[in-house]
Amino acid sequence: MKFKVSILLIFGFLIGSASSSNLCISKTLSFCQYGFNQNLNVTSTTADWTNPGTLSFIIRSYYLQGIDGLLSVCNARQQFAQCLGDQYDSCMSKLNFIASGESPEDAQAYVQLFRTMEFDCDGGFIQSSRNWPCIAAVLQTKEDMLNQCRQTYNDALKKDPSSLCQSSADYETCYRHFFFTTCGPEVSWWACERTRRGLSIDTDCPMDTCSLVASGVSSGDATSSEGVQKVFEMKTNAALVMRQLAAGKH
Ligand SMILES: *[C@@H]1O[C@H](CO)[C@@H](O)[C@H](O)[C@H]1NC(C)=O
């Protein structure tokens, strides 16, 4: 398994290097990061991939300000993604940063932060925006427990890198639990999916998916769950979801 993951990484790296349209140009990335930081009034000159903890702290402080804080982050992220254009995906790959000398931990943390924001602001935006007060409350009051979920994941991976898929699934279950108990099944799904997207494991763990109701947790009101499920099934197409939501209003 360890071998297979390495092969996948090397293969992905070669593909990434071979196609010029898939290169992450570091000058462009620096420029776009500068714009992102300006939009969030970040004055620290080292709040970038060399210091993902600083960036993460700043974004979290916006998140805890409530929905306006979320919108500020999403606005900055949107401009960042537009700034990178078709370099976005290759820049949001930890291999890019490892290749340029960052530690695997920093590379992972930086990419995870931006992939998580991408979900909060894009794929999961409907759920983020309508549940933000509850989400922000859990982020604040359950911080230690949520950090413990991540620590357990990091420790498990360090001990056995081949446990990636199981450790990721355990992380998702651990993380979503705190959102389920406070905010209910929709936010529990949101928390699982945001964790999964943050880990960028689509290629390595294609079987890992986030169900609306976590296994082992009894389902609540079946009819309302079905309604939510219908919206979730369309989550990859935000425009359709918007239209469906708008259609449901009259
Ligand atoms: C950044 O600072 C300016 C000037 O103080 C303020 O108008 C703006 O709202 C701030 N931006 C954010 C995202 O808080």
CA distance 250 to 243: 12
Closest atom of ligand 1 to CA, residue 76:
13
Which tokens hold the place of 210? 């986030």
Q: Could you tell me if 15 and 210 are in contact, meaning their C-beta atoms sit under 8 angstroms apart?
A: no
Burial of 207 (0-12, 13-18, 19+ CB in 10 A): exposed
Taking the centre of ligand 1 as the mean of its atom positions, its distance from the CA of residue 39, in whole angstroms, is 8
Taking the centre of ligand 1 as the mean of its atom positions, its distance from the CA of residue 10, in whole angstroms, is 43
Which tokens hold the place of 25? 């140009």
Which tokens hold the place of 83? 């700034």
Mutate to test the pocket of ligand 1, among 36, 41, 62, 78 (most ligand atoms within 8 A of CB): 41
Per-residue pLDDT 10s for the chain (250 aa) are: 444 444 444 444 444 444 445 689 899 999 999 999 999 999 988 899 999 999 999 999 999 999 999 999 999 999 999 999 999 999 999 999 999 899 999 999 999 999 999 999 999 999 999 999 999 999 999 999 999 999 999 999 999 999 999 999 999 999 999 999 999 999 999 999 999 999 999 889 999 999 887 554 444 433 344 433 433 333 333 433 443 443 443 3
Taking the centre of ligand 1 as the mean of its atom positions, its distance from the CA of residue 63, in whole angstroms, is 15
Q: What is the DSSP string of 1-18?
A: -HHHHHHHHHHHHHHHHH
Q: Which residues have any ligand 1 atom within 6 Å of their CB?
A: 40-41, 72
Reading phi first (left if > 0) and then psi (alpha if -120 to 50, else beta), residue 228 is in alpha
Separation of CA 233 from chain center: 18
Residue nearest atom 8 of ligand 1, based on CA coordinates: 41
Q: Which residue has the tokens 């993604």?
A: 81
Taking the centre of ligand 1 as the mean of its atom positions, its distance from the CA of residue 11, in whole angstroms, is 43
Ranges of H-type helices in the chain: 2-18, 26-39, 52-63, 67-84, 88-91, 94-99, 104-118, 125-141, 143-159, 164-183, 185-199, 222-233, 238-247
